[in-house]
Structure 1
Amino acid sequence: MAKVRIVVLILIVAVASAIVGVFIYKDIKSTGNEITIREVGKTGDGGQHQEKIEEINGKPDLTRKVVITAAMLEESKKQALEKIGQIIEPLKGDPNLFSNWVELGSYMKLIGDYDSAVVYWKYAAAIRPKSFIPFANLGDLYLHNIKDTVKAEKSYLTALMVGPDQPMVYEKLAELYRYFLKDDTKAKQVLRDGIAKNPSASERLKYILDHYDANN
């Protein structure tokens, strides 16, 4: 039984890595080195939402202690730590490896080290401020793991500011408004915005909006 659980975990990690790879492929390359305070358009009401993103000076401490809080077998913990070490090693020589920071954050989330995941994804955003990926990942982490809807909303809004062509993020933000904040007006407006900005790639958003009231 233990062997089966280990195999399942390995498969989960492999799938997570594959998903990260897809996101990285879509990344818009940038040479930016840091992010400071920026203004984020508030989806839905035409107003403005101010988000303060922490300014990051220098790269994260790669020697910081890894904290495993997820329920894992000892062998699975060992495998995860080995993989994390493999991801970190190239970063010691080249801190501009965006995909490594994104993957490192994903592994930290997997093992339950949410603080480290936040640090690494924020740094990924700092070196690639035009990529929606770190912000979307942070939105998921804040919403489903850290349970902070305010930070989740800000992260999703920022992801949409830099990646307005990502229907998936509109759907995630709409779910936050609909199921967590119980705000149907904002949820519907987010769906409409996503459809308007992605007319040729928003069939799922259209379906959700068309069946919204029927599924309530």
Structure 2
Amino acid sequence: MDGKVIVVASTKGGVGKTTVALNIAIARAMQGRDVWLINGDRQDTASTAIAIRGEAGRHPPIATAHYPDGSALRTQLLHQRSKFQDIVIDVGGRDSTALRAALSQADLVLVPFQPRSFDTWAVADIAALIEEARATSGKPTEALGFLNMADTAGSDNKEAVETLADYPAIKYLDTPIRRRKSIANAAGSGMSVLEYQPKDEKANAELNALLKAIY
């Protein structure tokens, strides 16, 4: 097993990190991969969603863990990563020891941001932490930013993407995930939108484009 670590991170809450992490983890498990979903936030939303999934008897099951403390997250990741093919870490909402530990161990950092001024301002914070983690760990960890809960029309998407250019630590990934009710409904039931019925073809296409780009 390769134990590739993908960290979904932001120092701002409400950008959809947990929903993105949940969708990635479940999608990879649906492809037959052995996946570990770690929640590094104090608010353990990801584990709650997976518990709902388990209670509903949905397959495939997903292994989860909650490590809001950076030392515990780093230690357990070093001990356990060889047991899994894919590891997805949902962390952030603020600067924390867990966020810094996850960044130090990441193979890839995904930074979701919405086309809103407060979200784009927060990109500066996570970009600085990514650069610090690279310097400390000596790893040239790749970081990709993408629009999440993007608008279906208007100029805000374009303006947000242009703002990202100010932070070279994060490369823009042109695979936006738009604001869709099916994605929110699926996550609330512990599902990926790929499993959700009635099927949302547009949401599925957007998620598959993101997965193709990062794997």
TM-score, normalised relative to structure 1: 0.30
Structure richer in helix, relative to its length: 1
Relative to the length of structure 2, the TM-score reads 0.30
Bigger proportion of residues as strand = 2
More relative contact order, 1 or 2 (CA 8 Å, 6+ apart): 2
